[in-house]
Amino acid sequence: MRPSVLRLIRFAGRLLTAAAAVAGLVVVFLALIVLTDGAGSGLAAWAATLGVATAAALWWGRRRTRRARLVLLLPVVVAAALTASVCIPTVSTARRYPPDLPFAAAQHWSLATGSRVAVYHYPPANAGTRHPVPLVYLNGGPVRGISVLDHRFLQLLAQQGYDVYTYEQAGGGRSDLLPMDQYSISRSVRDLDAFVDRLGKGSVDVLGFSSGAVVLTRALADPGVAAHVHRAVIAEPGPMDGPTARITGHTGRPSARGIAPAMTGPRSTHVPRYAVAFGLMRLDLLSPDNGLVGQAEGDNAFTAADLGSDTASAYCARDAHRIPVENTTQNFSFSPAASLRVEQTIKDSPSIAPQLGRSQTPAMLMIAECSSQVRQWETAILAADPAIQRTQYMPGVGHHMWNGLDDNDRRAVATITAFLQDKPAPLPNYPTRDDIPAFLHDNM
């Protein structure tokens, strides 16, 4: 074999060894991040990895030439540079709240629970058809700002004569953050009760969407809170409790997930620090209250593009190439850590079916044809709540049923207002409780 070929083989071998050493040190660093829960912005894991690796390299090269010792330290230097990027914030670590919307400046209310929330009010735009009972909207998330698309929908309800109020739940949007250990589904329910009390207009109609529908469902299972709810619209709910959350099954008709064009814009998950933090939190390897990325920094870093296929999953497959822009970059806000914390408290909660079975608040369930929610999450509520008076299966729409496409907003408004006014439903009452087995079979 020629000497040049031998030199090339030796060089390739050394390069592979060095690459393996770098990869091994990165793995050790990530393991220490998990073991220390990201303490000190990751610097505790970084310093420990660097110290042990340097000591090992020096010991290994103690009888070698100075040049050989430097070569042994090279993988340590490279690994130190790579892992240091996980420890350095690239956005402000103090919360930066979105600026006010041009058409709806937020008020800030301090609730009896201690939460300070951003409140929006759309008074009735049609005095001739003003409805006496205020309407409160609970947006999805959890712990997410209200999108511009949702604000436009609320304006449509106000044009129907409704006095519409909504608030961004604690930690979301322009609302103040809570200590991480205070986020929970029960806190969200208490905040709803405190908000209605602070509103001071008696009982209210409540429209809850997605995770907001979960808050509403659990409110209906609490007699003290339910007493302040006049009528309830449960739209596309997630799992209402731990037993429901553990149900796996089929969703609705095909959504646009996986076939819609990728969302454009910057992604925090392209930055090593946030890719590691959010990834490990999603895998439940870092606590939401970890020391790597604080709540405020995580909120500032997370972008709409980070949601990826989650947004596409809220639309029917047929709409994959015309998904509307739901929000503006300036208005978008999502707290990934607080959201995971709330979701975990739902998973850890016992069944609320017995309490929900005693509900007397008139309610309506809305289910989308292309729902990305597990069907049993929705039918579990229908089966448990005897006060659900009608179910409206919305054809041609995905999880985000009011989305500005075609006449979807008008149909959603007609469905909601018909129930709130106790008028005939625009769609068949389907599925009923008796229809649940056939409904689930048809969607398998």
In tens digits, what is the pLDDT along the chain, a chain of 444 residues?
566 655 555 555 555 766 777 788 889 999 999 999 999 999 999 999 998 888 877 777 666 676 666 666 787 788 889 899 999 999 999 999 999 999 988 999 999 999 999 999 999 987 678 899 999 999 998 999 999 999 999 999 999 999 999 999 999 999 999 999 999 999 999 999 999 999 999 999 999 999 999 999 999 999 999 999 999 999 999 999 999 999 988 899 999 999 999 888 889 989 999 999 999 999 999 999 999 999 999 999 999 999 878 899 999 999 999 999 999 999 999 999 999 999 999 999 999 999 999 999 999 999 999 999 999 999 999 999 999 999 999 999 999 999 999 999 999 999 999 999 999 999 999 999 999 999 998 765
Question: 66 and 132: one domain?
Answer: no
In a domain, 279, yes or no: no
Question: What length is written for the chain?
Answer: 444
Asked if residue 75 lies in contact with residue 15, where contact means CB atoms within 8 angstroms, the answer is no
In a domain, 423, yes or no: yes
| CA 152 – CA 280 distance, rounded (Å) | 36
Question: 39 and 137: one domain?
Answer: no
Question: 63 and 180: one domain?
Answer: no
Which residues lie below 8 Å from residue 293, measured CB to CB, with a gap of 6+?
38, 41, 89, 273, 274, 277, 278, 301, 337
Backbone angles phi, psi at 138, to 5 degrees: -110, 115
Question: 72 and 169: one domain?
Answer: no
Question: 134 and 77: one domain?
Answer: no
pTM: 0.93
Question: 66 and 116: one domain?
Answer: no
Residue ranges making up the domain that contains 33: 3-84
Question: 238 and 158: one domain?
Answer: yes
In a domain, 392, yes or no: yes
Q: Which of 37, 52, 84 is the last residue of a domain?
A: 84
Question: 410 and 350: one domain?
Answer: yes
In a domain, 204, yes or no: yes
Q: Which of 26, 50, 84 is the last residue of a domain?
A: 84
Other Cβ atoms closer than 10 A to 328: 13
Question: 122 and 63: one domain?
Answer: no
In a domain, 334, yes or no: yes
Question: 178 and 29: one domain?
Answer: no
Q: What is the largest CA-CA distance in the chain?
A: 95
CATH number at residue 411: 3.40.50.1820
In a domain, 164, yes or no: yes
Q: Domain count of the chain?
A: 2
Question: 430 and 380: one domain?
Answer: yes
Other Cβ atoms closer than 10 A to 180: 18
Ramachandran assignment for 114, one of left (phi > 0), alpha (psi -120 to 50 degrees), beta (any other):
left
Question: 434 and 353: one domain?
Answer: yes
